[in-house]
Structure 1
Amino acid sequence: MRPAADIHHLLKPFEGRPVAVSVAAADPVNLPMIRHWCEAMGDANPAYTGDDAIAPPTMLQAWTMTGLGFPDSPAPATRTPAARTPATRTPTHDQLFALLDGAGYSAVVATDCEQEYLRPLRPGDELIFDTVIETVSPRKDTKLGTGYFITTAMQVRAAGELVGTHRFRILKYAPTKHARPEGTPAAVPTPSTRPRPVINRDNAPFWEGVAAHKLLIQRCTACGTLRFPWLPGCGRCGSPEWGTVEACGSGTVHSYVVVHHPPFPAFDPPYAVVLVELTEGVRIISSITGVPHDGVRIGMSVELEFIRVDAEWELPVFRARSDGSGEESG
């Protein structure tokens, strides 16, 4: 359903308005948070441990995030005077969202982010950040619905030095309705509607393997660590050298979600997306076949198969085994 009013003229004045001014991060850069991040990401890079540890660069935004339920907690009194610069959180963001919600653009989805790292962050660094509404796009028509792209820009400083920038973009939109009369079967998607993967120099050999009906896993030739998805370097030892191992094709469902929204021409919600733990120990996100979306269970045994989605393209998916091993693990 497309809203009748284009309110871009009301949104444009928000560009350049501050969201946060000289706000201190809730905690200094610290080793426990670095450890938790690395454990969650499965990143064993030795640069993030020990006396000379640095923080993973992609943690930049994590240091500036507020807690759930204590968004306005004051900075600890132990901070340095420089870190206790008078801070301001403005109502700009809430006002912008209220205007969009009131006009019918009530849904939101994150679309992308860009970060720039100017120097490594180390334990003890106390961070100050400023955030502004950078741009509000003209109204756009997307597959999700009609709406506006909003970009915020953050600058992060330590001891007065700019250490990184973070640009975050969302779409505030009015969802497109895809209702069909009761009893009418879902339309069969045409092959051209199926999204294509982005193939680059780092993952091209993986897709060459798929074309040959092989599921290839990267293996570091320096330390032997297996990794998936494909990356240009080893997260354990940092070596850029690698070879491949062909997966045997067996695995279990480690986790899963059931997708209900948004509708997309190539898919017919609801459907399940699974995180499969392969016998080799790495995990892969994929579709699951041979079982309805509400029949998927954690611990379910699955096996690799390849399905053709158009005349030129096949994809690796996983089929639920019919051997009765579908109970949820304890």
Structure 2
Amino acid sequence: MPISAEHVGRRYPAAPPYVVSRAKIAEFAEAVRDDNPAYSGDDPIAPPTFAAVIAAQAWGALFGDEELGLALNRTMHTDQNFTFHRPLRPGDAVVAELSIEKVRARGNLEMITVLVDLAVDGEQVCEARSTLMHTRPEEAGDE
């Protein structure tokens, strides 16, 4: 059964906690070429888009849901936004939980909006919302 509007609201179990570290913050800041001093020193914070690293780990449950039949190799990440309640810091054990927020299907094209809630010690610290474009293979006879 392909993904449909009937799947909106489906929640998945949380991904294993991701522990933020100074080293990972520094690696990420270097990778995105952002030398903001807030990302280094004695009390660094993570760059805002670092949350995508953690949120993406929760996507495994979505792609592992056999009922939906989604394939990563036919998926494009088309949009991303974050709502922060506080920055991520070293030592944070972040738990990411994904839910399906919106599904639109047209022919073999599906637009799926997912929301990943990021929490530390039960406190919501960020919402990461992504829109994914997924294509299904053409069925025999649809040509």
Question: Same fold, TM exceeding 0.5?
Answer: yes
Q: Conserved in 2, the CA contact under 8 Å of 1:18 and 1:92?
A: no
Which residue number in structure 2 is paired with residue 62 of structure 1? 53
Please, which of 112, 119, 138 is the counterpart of residue 157 of structure 1?
119
1:23 Cα deviation from its structure 2 partner: 2.8
SS in 2 for 1:94: coil
In 1: Cα distance, 2:64 partner to 2:33 partner: 37
What is the match of residue 141 of structure 2?
none
Q: 2:15 matched to 1:16?
A: no
Following superposition, the deviation at residue 112 of structure 1 comes to 0.9
Count of matched residue pairs: 135
2:8 & 2:69 partners in 1: Cα distance?
13
Contact 1:29 1:123 survives alignment (8 Å)? yes
Change (3 A) 1:44 1:130: same
- Give 1:134's aligned residue: 101
Structure ranking higher on relative contact order (CA contacts 8 Å, 6+ apart): 2
SS in 1 for 2:19: coil
8 A contact 1:17–1:92 mirrored in 2 = no
For structure 2, list consecutive stretches of 5 or more residues without a partner in the other structure.
139-143
**2:89 maps to what in 1?**
122
**CA shift in 2, pair 1:63/1:11, >3 Å:** closer
Identity of aligned residues (%): 30
Q: Which has the higher helix share?
A: 2
On the 8 A contact 2:104/2:111 being kept in 1, the answer is yes
CA 1:116–1:30 in 2, change beyond 3 Å: closer, same or farther?
same
Tell me how large the CA RMSD over aligned residues is: 2.8
- SS of equivalent to 1:97: coil
The structure-2 alpha-carbon separation of the partners of 1:90 and 1:97, relative to structure 1 and needing over 3 Å to count, comes to: closer
Distance 1:174 1:90 in 2: 16
SS of the residue corresponding to residue 37 of structure 1 reads helix
Q: State whether structure 2 residue 8 is matched by structure 1 residue 36.
A: no
2:110–2:134: 8 Å Cα contact kept in structure 1?
yes
For residue 264 of structure 1, what is the aligned residue in structure 2? Answer: none
Q: Which runs of 5+ in 1 are unaligned?
A: 1-6, 72-88, 141-145, 177-330
TM-score (norm 1): 0.37
Shift of residue 12, structure 1, vs aligned partner: 2.1
Residue 95 of structure 1 corresponds to 67
